[in-house]
Amino acid sequence: MEQRHLGRTGLRVSRIGLGTLTWGRDTDENDAADLLKAFWEAGGTLVDTADVYGDGDAEYILGQLLDGLVPRRDLVIATKAGSVPDPDRRFDGSRGHLLGALDASLSRLGTDHVDLWQVHAFDATTPLDETLGALDIAVSSGRARYAGVSNFCGWQLAKAATWQVASSGTRTPLASTQMEYSLLQRGVEREVLPAARDLGVGLLPSSPLGRGVLTGKYRRGLPQDSRGASEHLAPFVEPYLDDTASHIVDAVVTAADGLAATPLQVALAWVRDRPGVAAPIVGARNAQQLSAALSVEALSLPDEICDALDDVSAPLHRYPDYHWSTL
């Protein structure tokens, strides 16, 4: 699998990443082992997890599979901290919480460092310099090799990335930002993606298949084994089952038919090759689903197909961020 640099860093990652959101909940240890082995054998390196996935079980399962199944040195392990199961506070970016969460992640993973450590979301109740200071401590102590953020809007990303390089090289530059990005969700193109490209921060798209909708599986109803039929994931999928999404999915299916490809391959190739993207994170429940995603490695979309998909899924940009000066 092709490798790409993550932002303006020396860290190289596979251009498709393996997500572990369902590990420990919908994906047991046996299926996780099949997924990780298939991903590694295909040349995949980037494995993305978080301390809250499966209430910590995703990290624990991944840790159990390292070395015994896949050599730790062959993987780029990325995890996150900052989300908390607190009804009064969804995110905690305080230094104490973040560093404590990192130590707990390392224990579950059974490793002395992660390759990429990400703040899971912006915490408006904690000074940003305190949150970013935790990233510096993590990297300087060797517990993390690189640092990134997740779910930061444009101004938050720009502020964080600028702060990190404003102290004469004493801070850790941001390597990445992880955001949802697909043909069904192009909101990052307003501010986040332009900021990331300008600042040299690599984008790691989550849900690149539109929460599964872009595979075309929901065109004729709700498959019983799908996330949309799952009690705890149905609210996650439902927003993308409207008429607008259906029109975009139809266009993806048409493009796939013309290329003798699958809708999954077309949708994933589109986001993988967008300017500024380092590696889409693909979540699969079993090795069969992962194999279907990894088959995209051989596909590059023709320019005319990309243009057609761009047009049919184009988000509405208005003042002040789109051609306002020409009006």
**Is 202 inside a domain boundary?**
yes
Q: Under a CB-based contact definition with an 8 Å cutoff, are residues 79 and 17 in contact?
A: no
Beta bridge partners of 66: 70
Taking 70 as the pLDDT cut, the residues of the chain under it are 167-170, 221, 223-233, 321-327
**Is 313 inside a domain boundary?**
no
**Residues 169-206: pLDDT tens digits?**
567 899 999 999 999 999 999 999 999 999 999 999 99
Cα–Cα distance between 199 and 304 in angstroms, integer? Answer: 30
Residue 326 is predicted with a pLDDT of 46
Print the SS3 string covering the chain. CCEEECCCCCCEEECCEEECCCECCCECHHHHHHHHHHHHHCCCCEEECCCCHHHHHHHHHHHHHECCCECHHHCEEEEEECEEEECCEEECCCHHHHHHHHHHHHHHHCCCCEEEEEECCCCCCCCHHHHHHHHHHHHHCCCEEEEEEECCCHHHHHHHHHHHCCCCCCCCCEEEEEEECECCECHHHCCHHHHHHHHCCEEEEECCCHHHHHHCCCCCCCCCCCHHHCCCCHHHHHHHCCHHHHHHHHHHHHHHHHHCCCHHHHHHHHHHCCCCECCCEEECCCHHHHHHHHHHHHCCCCHHHHHHHHHHHCCCCCCCCCCHHHC
**Residues 224-258: pLDDT tens digits?**
666 655 666 677 788 888 999 999 999 999 999 99
**Is 291 inside a domain boundary?**
yes
Catalytic option among 53, 146, 181, 240: 53
Q: Under a CB-based contact definition with an 8 Å cutoff, are residues 18 and 61 in contact?
A: no
Cα–Cα distance between 250 and 242 in angstroms, integer? Answer: 12
**Is 322 inside a domain boundary?**
no
Q: Under a CB-based contact definition with an 8 Å cutoff, are residues 123 and 91 in contact?
A: yes
Ramachandran assignment for 168, one of left (phi > 0), alpha (psi -120 to 50 degrees), beta (any other)? left
**Is 76 inside a domain boundary?**
yes
Write the CATH number for 103. Answer: 3.20.20.100
Q: What is the residue range of 135's domain?
A: 3-211+267-300
Q: How many domains does the chain have?
A: 1
Residue 86 is predicted with a pLDDT of 78
Confirm whether 53 is a catalytic residue: yes
Residue 323 is predicted with a pLDDT of 58
**Is 134 inside a domain boundary?**
yes
pTM of the model: 0.93
